[in-house]
């Protein structure tokens, strides 16, 4: 955690990445078999060009004289996924938890247009409700048909606020019910998957 966070912050300062976070899945909130994917590394790049020409920066031996940190640890990789951020709102609140939401919309473009309206309507309620960040993204890699193409995130300061959000309260409590009804039409099968993560480390 210590060395990784320092190297990630150096990478941000050097312009190699825009941001980095390590997330730990909150246990006891879903199917037991799903909890095998319990850690997630998220790296943000400023542009497709930055991502395509990315360089390795995680080297504990070079910076600290310490061999690879994960030697001797049994790690099972799930995969690597790339998303394009379509829209996001952030403020200066310090989020502790973040909810990831995946879905198969009936029509991708119209679902995104509707999400744009909904997010614009609750933006002013975010800070008072403890919501530190909201975002919408589309999947770029891989392009398998069995993976949800549309993705949203919601970050809050504490778990109580997160639970309120799941009950359509918190920042989204004042959203027009007609818009929410339209959203249900755009997402006929609801959410494909929703996972709550806790921030372990992140860059500034």
Which of the two residues, 118 and 5, has the higher pLDDT score? 118
Q: What does the pLDDT read at residue 66?
A: 67
DSSP 115-140: HHHHHHHHGGGTGGGTEEEEEEEEEE
Q: In 36-180, where do the E strands start and end?
A: 39-44, 82-90, 97-103, 131-141, 150-156
Mean pLDDT along residues 8-28? 94
CATH architecture for residues 2-202: 2-Layer Sandwich (3.30)
Dump pLDDT digits (tens) for 155-196: 999 999 999 999 999 999 999 999 999 999 999 999 999 999
- Given a contact cutoff of 8 angstroms between Cβ atoms, the answer to whether 148 and 136 are in contact is no
48-97 per-position pLDDT tens digit = 999 999 998 877 666 666 666 555 556 677 889 999 999 999 999 999 99
The answer to whether the bond into 142 is cis (omega within 30° of 0) is yes
Both tokens assigned to 153: 């995130």
Q: How many CB atoms lie within 10 A of CB 164?
A: 18
Residues 35, 26: Cα–Cα separation, whole Å: 9
Q: State the pLDDT confidence band at 31, using cuts at 50, 70 and 90.
A: confident
What is the average per-residue pLDDT within 145-154? 98
* pLDDT at residue 86 in the model: 98
Answer whether 34's CB lies under 8 Å from 197's CB.
Answer: no
Residue 200 DSSP symbol? E
Cross-strand partners of 12: none
Predicted pLDDT of residue 37: 82
Q: List strand residue ranges (DSSP E) for the chain, in order.
A: 19-25, 39-44, 82-90, 97-103, 131-141, 150-156, 193-202
Domain boundaries, the chain: 2-202
> CA 10, CA 56: separation in Å to the nearest integer?
12
> In sequence order, what are the residues at sequence separation of 6 or more whose Cβ sits closer than 8 angstroms to the Cβ of residue 96?
156, 157, 158, 159, 198, 199
> What average pLDDT does range 141-162 have in this prediction?
98
- Give the whole-number percent of the chain exceeding pLDDT 70: 89
**What does the pLDDT read at residue 68?**
60
- Residue 27 structure tokens: 């246990």
What's residue 204's pLDDT? Answer: 83
Kindly report the average pLDDT of the chain as a whole number.
91
pLDDT, residue 198, reads 98
pLDDT score of 41 more than 60: yes
């Amino acid at each position: 955690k210590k060395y990784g966070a320092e190297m990630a912050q150096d990478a941000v300062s050097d312009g190699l990445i825009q941001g980095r976070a390590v997330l730990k899945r909150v246990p006891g909130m879903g199917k037991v078999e799903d909890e095998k994917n319990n850690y997630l590394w998220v790296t943000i790049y400023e542009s497709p060009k930055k991502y395509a020409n990315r360089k390795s920066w995680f080297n504990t031996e070079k910076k600290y004289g310490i061999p690879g940190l994960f030697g001797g640890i049994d790690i099972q990789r799930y995969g690597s996924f790339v998303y394009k951020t379509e829209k996001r709102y952030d403020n200066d609140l310090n989020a502790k938890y973040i909810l990831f939401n995946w879905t198969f919309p009936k029509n991708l473009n119209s679902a995104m247009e509707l999400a744009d309206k909904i997010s614009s309507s609750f933006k002013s309620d975010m800070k008072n409700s403890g919501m530190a960040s909201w975002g919408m993204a589309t999947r770029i890699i891989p392009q398998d048909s069995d993976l949800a193409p549309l993705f949203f995130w919601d970050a809050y300061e504490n778990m109580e606020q997160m639970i309120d959000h799941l009950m359509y309260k918190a920042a989204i409590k004042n959203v027009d019910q007609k818009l929410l009804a339209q959203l249900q039409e755009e997402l006929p099968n609801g959410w494909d998957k929703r996972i709550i993560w806790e921030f372990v480390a992140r860059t500034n």
